Amino acid sequence: MKMSHLFGQTLREAPADTEFVSHQLLVRAGYVRQLGAGIFSALPLARRMLTRLENIMREEINAIGGQEMTMPVVHPADIWKETGRWYEIGSEMGRFKDANGRDMVLAMTHEEVVTDLVRNVIHSYRQLPALVYHIQTKWRDEVRSRGGLIRVREFTMKDSYSLDSDWEGLDQQYRAHYQAYFNIFHRCGLDVIAVESDVGMMGGKKAHEFMYLAPIGEDTLVLCDACGYTANRQVATFQKPTSPAEETLPLEKVATPGTKTIADLAAFLGIPESKTAKAVFLVATVSEDQADVEKFVFAVVRGDMDMNETKLTNAVKAKALRPAHEEEIRAIGASPGYGSPVGIKEDVLIVIDDLVAQSPNLVAGANEDGYHYLNVNYGRDFTAGIVTDIVAVEEGHACPECGATLRTSRGVEVGNIFKLGTRYSAAMGATFLDKNGKAQPVIMGSYGIGSGRLLACIAEKYNDNYGLCWPITVAPFQVHLVALRGGFEVAEQLYSDLQAAGIEVLYDNRNESPGVKFNDADLIGVPIRLTVGGRSLKKGGVEIKARTAKDLTLVPLAEVVARVQNEIATQEATIMAKVTPTPYPG
């Protein structure tokens, strides 16, 4: 590709609304342009990279038995209603009506579509196992699109779906994807870790997320360096302390003026925060009889801990949670800042952390401004509709596996895998006849990687003060050929020779100054740069420089193609050396 014909433009400065380094550099280097909030065009440089990333995915999924197909972007809502997700998913789903007034859905994911195919194609155990996948556009109306390609509304995803006749088969395909995903990310030059995660709107029995560790990440990961335990904070657990046995003391109401926070309360009474109960007032949107209704949720955790909203959402099966308004809190007989489950109206859903149920003689609100109860005990003074783990793991807590100290890190999710089980097949009647002629639901798995977010994460990792520094395996071109005064004729021939050798070249044949050309080369980030000019030719050849190297080398013109081939092979070998077997947890 000659840069004089390249569709795109480099910018000296990043637009003011760009937040992350990847966003700034991808815009400045002419890879992407934004059309609207969370909606981007991939220009030719980015399109070449996305194709490379997607071909790596194809190769690895094909290697474990995948068959590529294409499923539609627009779905009839009926299949989403069959699984219930039409009612469970909130405003992020793109809903519209077609010309005949039928409810339609813009694809968020394709579980319903593939399950509809399965129930029409798979009839016998002899057709299983199977693995199908596609690379397709998705739409999720994210309220907080941000960070360029990190969180968008329209995106492309590789999603594969495993189909099995038994749970052992699902385990095998899940493990095969686990390794294939590490292969994909390592071939792209990206180091990731796999963490246990929430199944979320996908449902199912188990899930892992593949995380690129970076400060820009929205997810908090919980890690144990001693035993290797990893989990997204949304689902992470820890060894909770055991409360010492105490005699149950009588309930006592005391004045605690001006103590609306746990810290203020503990200081006022001279007790540790662990001896208090923290009330959290929320309103959950839940589906009942295919309609959305709101329920007041009164959550209680121990005062020295914080509530985990994802755990609570799952516990109450909520589509959404919002903070309760003051008038709603007072309507149930509670008081903001002085609330507890003691004496609350019966139609309120009370959810308490299991540690609260085991902790005797806690201090909790008296549901009256300026007053608290001493010696509140679960079972005697209040009960709960749900008792479960709803607290967030913090750095310093004890590992649930080995008891060592946990640490936290930020991460960006670049892939996920789910054991769906029969979540969709049972709902949609996707069955097969087993060896005994009995109908059984197909056992399914779902596995996704977003190519745009993967591109952004690679850009986050591979850059310096001058621009992007792409790994050779994913770069839009292998070589950036720069022609300077006195070298255009030689550069034209070298461009042809490199292409004839199967080397992909971005050729800067523009009538620009050396400074502009070198700045653009650094900004665009192609791994190998060749410079041909009158000065280099007089010295005996062509200058070759790796994008990340400080020094350049002068190579005789006759040896340039071979030297470039060797450099490409060396860089590729460095990347591929990381593609090794990864132990599966457990």
| 85 and 230 assigned to the same domain | yes
Across-strand partners of 155? Answer: 138
End-to-end alpha carbon distance in the chain: 49
For the segment 334-341, the average pLDDT, to the nearest whole number, is 94
Q: Within a domain: residue 15? A: no
pLDDT in tens, 77-131: 999 999 999 988 888 999 999 999 999 999 999 999 999 999 999 999 999 999 9
Work out the average pLDDT over 434-460: 98
Confidence of residue 22 (pLDDT cuts 50, 70, 90): very high
Q: Give the pLDDT score at 362.
A: 97
List the structure tokens of 520: 């653009």
Binned at pLDDT 50, 70 and 90, residue 201 comes out as: low
Within 210-277, residue ranges assigned H as helices are 262-269
**Per-residue confidence at 282, pLDDT binned at 50, 70, 90?**
very high
Rounded Cα distance between 26 and 33, Å, is 8
Domain assignment of residue 4, yes or no? no
- φ, ψ of residue 424 to 5 degrees: the values are -100, -40
Percent of the chain with pLDDT over 70: 99
pLDDT at 153 over 90: yes
How many other C-beta atoms are found inside a 10 Å radius of the C-beta of residue 151?
A: 17
Distance between CA atoms of residues 205 and 195, nearest Å: 15
Same domain, residue pair 365 and 277:
yes
Are residues 269 and 230 part of one domain?
A: no
The reply to whether 129 and 169 lie within a common domain is: yes
Tokens 């194609």 found at: 121
Residue 260 pLDDT greater than 90, yes or no? no
Q: Any idea what the CATH number is for the domain that residue 560 is in?
A: 3.40.50.800
Please report, for the domain that includes residue 285, its CATH number: 3.90.960.10
Instruction: Write the burial class of residue 142 (CB in 10 Å: 0-12 exposed, 13-18 middle, 19+ buried).
Output: middle
Instruction: Residue count of the chain, please give it.
Output: 586
The number of domains in the chain is 3
Together in a domain, 213 and 256: no
Q: Are residues 352 and 484 in the same domain?
A: no
Q: Is residue 582 part of a domain?
A: no
Whether 396 is in a domain gets the answer no
For residue 557, pLDDT over 90 is answered with yes
Give domain status of residue 380, yes or no: yes
Q: Residue 59: in which H helix or E strand, if any?
A: helix 44-63
Query: Is the predicted pLDDT of residue 39 greater than 80, yes or no?
Result: yes
Q: What is the mean pLDDT of residues 50-72?
A: 98
- Average predicted confidence (pLDDT) for the chain: 95
For residue 584, being part of any structural domain is answered with no
Domain co-membership, 226 together with 160: yes
Closest of 533, 448, 504 to residue 111, by C-alpha: 448
Q: 3-state DSSP call for residue 234?
A: coil
Tell me the per-residue pLDDT of 531-542, one tens digit each, with 9 for 90 and over.
Answer: 999 999 999 999
Q: Among candidates 324, 321, 303, which has minimal Cα distance to 311?
A: 321
- The CATH number that applies at residue 132 is 3.30.930.10
Q: Are residues 371 and 511 in the same domain?
A: no
Residue labelled with tokens 């579980």: 111
What pTM, to 2 d.p., does this model score? 0.91
**Is the confidence at residue 346, as pLDDT, over 80?**
no
Same domain, residue pair 333 and 185: no
Looking at the structure, tell me whether residues 163 and 230 fall in a common domain.
yes
Same domain, 228 and 261: no
In the block, tokens 């977010």 appear at 453
| Mean pLDDT, residues 470-499 | 98
The owner of tokens 């190297």 is 549
203 has a pLDDT exceeding 70: no
Give the Cα separation of 445 and 510 in Å (integer).
51
Determine the Cα–Cα distance for residues 208 and 199; give it in Å rounded to an integer.
9
Q: What percent of the chain has pLDDT over 90?
A: 91
The tens digit of pLDDT for each residue in 384-411 reads 999 999 999 999 999 999 999 999 999 9
Q: Which of 357, 388, 419 is the last residue of a domain?
A: 388
The 10s digit of each residue's pLDDT in 347-364 is: 899 999 999 999 999 999
Q: Assign 3-state DSSP to the chain and report helix, strand, coil percentages, each to 5.
A: 30, 30, 40
Asked whether the predicted pLDDT for residue 381 surpasses 70, the reply is yes
317: domain range? 252-388
In terms of domains, do 68 and 108 share one?
Answer: yes
Residue 8 placed within a domain = no
Position with higher pLDDT, 428 vs 17: 428
Question: Scanning the structure block, which residue is given the tokens 């850059």?
Answer: 463
In this structure, is residue 395 part of a structural domain?
no
Confidence of residue 244 (pLDDT cuts 50, 70, 90): confident
User: Does position 237 have pLDDT exceeding 80, yes or no?
Assistant: yes
